[in-house]
Amino acid sequence: MISNMSTDATIDRPFRPLERLVETPSDRLRRIARIGAVVLPVAVTGYSVWYDALAAQAAPDLLQVLVFVIGGLSLYAVHRWPLLPTAVAPIVWAMTGSCSFVVVMSAVVAARRGRGWWVVLGVFTVLHPLGLVPDPCMFRAGHVAVPAESAPLVAVVLPALVGGAVGEARRVVGAREERLRLQAAAAAARAADVVAQERLRLSRDLHDVVGQGVSRMTLHATALAAQSDDEATRRLATRIADSGAGLLEDLHFVVGLLRNTEAQSGTRQPAVPDAATLATPSWQESFDAALEDGQDVVRRGPAAGPLARTAGLDTRCAAVLDAVAAEALHNARKHAPGSMVEVTAALLPDRLEVTFRNAVPSRSDAAGVAARGGLPDARRTGGHGLAVAAERAAEVGGLLRHIRTPDGRFRLDLELPR
């Protein structure tokens, strides 16, 4: 057993420069590739003219130079009209004795592997044995030790093998990318299906459990309001019934949102409702409801009036302000019944600051309230209201903080941009 083996990531990691070149080519590499596509035909042409003159030990005549130039220009059409340079390459070989363009086109044809590619390579291979082209320059110059009969191997077969290997590697990478794309799409579809099923399950649970429970509560409150002889009881029961009816409307909206067919299919997610969409009480409505419940609320400064309009808040920030006010008063009524809630506001040039303060009752005070018919301690559990309110504030660029001050009071601070 080898104890000093490196990690799997190090063992399986490919050659890093090659990985960057194939998988994620940078803009610099792309620029180099574009420059190479422009320079290569010029380089092949210049090399062919020079090597032909070296093999012949004489300066090339004007016709040969013209043929080489035509061959180089034809290489620029290899992507759009590949048949053109493929036909020009053997003509250049036949007229000049240089097989440079056949070498290039053998590699290109094998790499592209287009329609009839093996036929083209077969034609290139038999040109020299049939005597249709002269010996290549490298054989005439004596720069190779193999006989001239091996010209098809050197000029066609070997370049075709190299080009075929490069092209096959490119196709393998492309196939793998396509496979990964299909796998990602399939995984996304499965995830969307799971989300859709969960949305349906949640919508059914909300409808069957919460909806039916709220509906029964509303019916009971309506019956109590109709049958009670006490005016205060009838008024309270009516308020409960109205609150239940409003909650049912919001619940039906949420159930419909969860059962939205476009959202289930994953094609389009519906817009997330903001604080005002689900009938969140307005700033003034929250304070009116608190007063009707007998809650002691004191508003000072700009908070005494329509604060959102006074501060010039937009619709989204105003909705967050309404939601935070409703949550602050609800928490004070729930966790500190009978305590006074003090609301202050400060208008700064770039933001609005609102503060809610209320006393936090001791355990003995809370037990006494419970004994007098208040909310039992067992039900006064923490929820997610402040966390949701903080998220709403953050979505509009605001901030919500809550602390317990040294004097035993609970303070909720809201900042909203103006």
Please report how many Cα atoms fall inside a 13 Å half-sphere around the Cα of residue 293, on the Cβ side.
Answer: 21
Number of domains into which the chain is organized: 2
**Does residue 366 lie within any of the structural domains?**
yes
> What global pTM score does this model have?
0.46
Distance CA 21, CA 17 (A): 6
Gyration radius of the chain's alpha carbons: 41
pLDDT class for 393, splitting at 50, 70, 90? very high
**Does residue 274 lie within any of the structural domains?**
no
Question: 21-30, 44-53, 133-142, 158-167: which range is least confident on average?
Answer: 21-30
pLDDT class for 13, splitting at 50, 70, 90? low
Whether 110 and 167 have beta carbons less than 8 Å apart is answered as: yes
Q: Give SS3 for 5.
A: coil
Task: Check residues 232 and 259 and name the one with the higher pLDDT.
Answer: 232
- With a pLDDT cut of 90, the percent of the chain lying above it is 18
pLDDT class for 417, splitting at 50, 70, 90? very high
Compute the average pLDDT of residues 98-109: 88
Compute the average pLDDT of residues 30-37: 78
Q: How high is the pLDDT of residue 324? A: 92
**Does residue 187 lie within any of the structural domains?**
no
Last residue of a domain, one of 145, 177, 203: 145
**Does residue 290 lie within any of the structural domains?**
yes
CB atoms within 10 A of CB 59: 10
State pLDDT tens for residues 396-416: 999 999 999 888 899 999 999
Pairing of strands 297-299, 341-347: parallel
Q: Give SS3 for 373.
A: coil
Q: How high is the pLDDT of residue 279? A: 55
State pLDDT tens for residues 313-345: 999 999 999 989 988 998 888 788 888 999 999
Which whole-number Å values give the CA distances from 250 to 236, 271, 289, 362, in the listed order? 21, 16, 19, 35
Last residue of a domain, one of 112, 145, 178: 145
pLDDT class for 374, splitting at 50, 70, 90? very low
**Does residue 206 lie within any of the structural domains?**
no
Domain of 405 in residue numbering reads as: 281-418
**Does residue 118 lie within any of the structural domains?**
yes
Beta strands in 83-206 (DSSP E): none
Question: 85-89, 111-115, 261-265: which range is least confident on average?
Answer: 261-265
Q: How high is the pLDDT of residue 268? A: 44
Whether 98 and 52 have beta carbons less than 8 Å apart is answered as: yes
Q: How high is the pLDDT of residue 365? A: 54
**Please, what is the Cα angle at 275 between 193 and 377, to 5 degrees?**
95
Distance CA 157, CA 114 (A): 17
Say if residue 348's pLDDT is above 90. Answer: yes
- With a pLDDT cut of 70, the percent of the chain lying above it is 83
Say if residue 277's pLDDT is above 50. Answer: no
Residue 385 belongs to domain with CATH number = 3.30.565.10
pLDDT class for 383, splitting at 50, 70, 90? low
Q: How high is the pLDDT of residue 6? A: 43
State pLDDT tens for residues 114-142: 778 888 888 888 888 888 888 887 777 77
Q: How high is the pLDDT of residue 15? A: 54
State pLDDT tens for residues 201-219: 888 777 777 877 787 888 8
Task: Check residues 267 and 170 and name the one with the higher pLDDT.
Answer: 170
Last residue of a domain, one of 91, 111, 145: 145
Q: DSSP labels for 274-334?
A: -TTTTT---HHHHHHHHHHTT--EEE-GGGGS-HHHHHT--HHHHHHHHHHHHHHHHHHHH
**Does residue 326 lie within any of the structural domains?**
yes
Question: 17-26, 62-71, 122-131, 371-380: which range is least confident on average?
Answer: 371-380
Compute the average pLDDT of residues 173-191: 89
**Does residue 271 lie within any of the structural domains?**
no
Across the chain, mean pLDDT equals 80
